[in-house]
Structure 1
Amino acid sequence: MNTIITIGRQFGSAGREIGEKVAEYFGIKCYDKELLTRAAQESGFCEEMIQNHDERPTNSFLYNLVMDTYSFGYNASSFVDMPISHKVFLAQFDTIKKIADEGPCVIVGRCADYALADYKNCINLFIFGDDDVKTKRIMVRYDLTEAKAKEMITKKDKQRQSYYNYYSSKKWGRADSYDLCINSSILGIEGTVKLIIQYVEDFEKKNNADIMEK
């Protein structure tokens, strides 16, 4: 096993749970909130600050500043002047790369697919679901009415979409941004896990065959 799996997900689609089960099958780590803890430890930011800016959009007029940071490397003065949301993003960005360098794993959300765009051993997935299935799942998980659950789903997905579209060069949830998009409502959680496992195993076989040919 040498593959890094990133998972983008709609709120309520069970993306995190699916990621955990895939990681368990392969005997590798799954990073979701754990990534925030590690980013806090390595960057020196308090964990609460990182959580407050987790997958949340920021002011778009600062877009060029953060893009320049990626392109040319940030010096001390530009980093000091940078908004806290950008500093937090860069801390997560660096942590994602460090985690990937340590070996195979599953990383949920946080623009991980964009951070690892140059990694050839990376599979980028997006998990979505039918509205009624997602709504029922959120109603049960958070003990909400149907209306409140739908409202929460809409809000969370808008945040994730804005964050992803802002920091990456791709579009959140759009098929051409990922290697594979799966509706978890069709096969259910276990069925989706099996599909991903098969996909990963076939991906590894192809990669190994390509290496042998070289």
Structure 2
Amino acid sequence: MSVTLRVHDLTVAYGAISAVRGVSFSVEAGELVTIIGANGAGKTTVLNALCGLRTIRGGMIEIGGEDITDMPPHERVRRGVAQVPEGRRLFGRMSVAENLEIGGYTRSDSAGKRKDLDHVLDLFPRLKERYRQLAGTLSGGEQQMVAMGRALMCRPRFLLLDEPTMGLAPQIVDLVLDAVKRVNAEGVTVLLVEQNAYRALEIADRAFVLESGEISLTGAGPDLLNHPRVRSAYLGYDE
């Protein structure tokens, strides 16, 4: 089941420094929305606030019409919110199988988990080959597949992806983004933070540009892909 996210006047600070200031946006059920921006713009901070991993100073977060602003992270997972964090953060001394199993820790439906595991292994066939291998011994691309698979094992309604293509070879970037599109096409609402602005805007229904903790531009993905300011600042084109 898809879910709608609404963020109202979100403000997050690190001590006296405001990392995100008065950010408001929505992601409608079934959309694939991306946030682009330079390093330090506040993109990861926004995602961590949505997951409950960062205390907010002001504003409100709603998922499916429910106020989750003060809800602890594990309860947000139970509401269908899953994050694929920057850097993957796998349990390196545990197998691929064990990492995937952890993704479904809030669930008690064994048959459903088995079905979702089969879906993950269908999405990423390489994980079937590496199923009993320690996650820490995998390549970067394979680790990213495990991280995405782990998030999908909680059967999310809303998937947050933080820099999923960072440091990956071009062919693995294609594989990962194809998987993101497939998951979205299956009905999961996606919010994607991505340094590769061109690839992100190519697949996004809508996009936001975050600059110095504030949203400076919004629009459809293809429209921002051709916006002079975006092309100059993020795509390397001189206008």
Q: Provide TM-score, normalisation by structure 1.
A: 0.36
Higher relative CO (Cα under 8 Å, sequence separation at least 6) belongs to 1
Please, what TM-score do these two structures have when normalized by structure 2? 0.33
Higher strand share: 2
More helix by share: 1
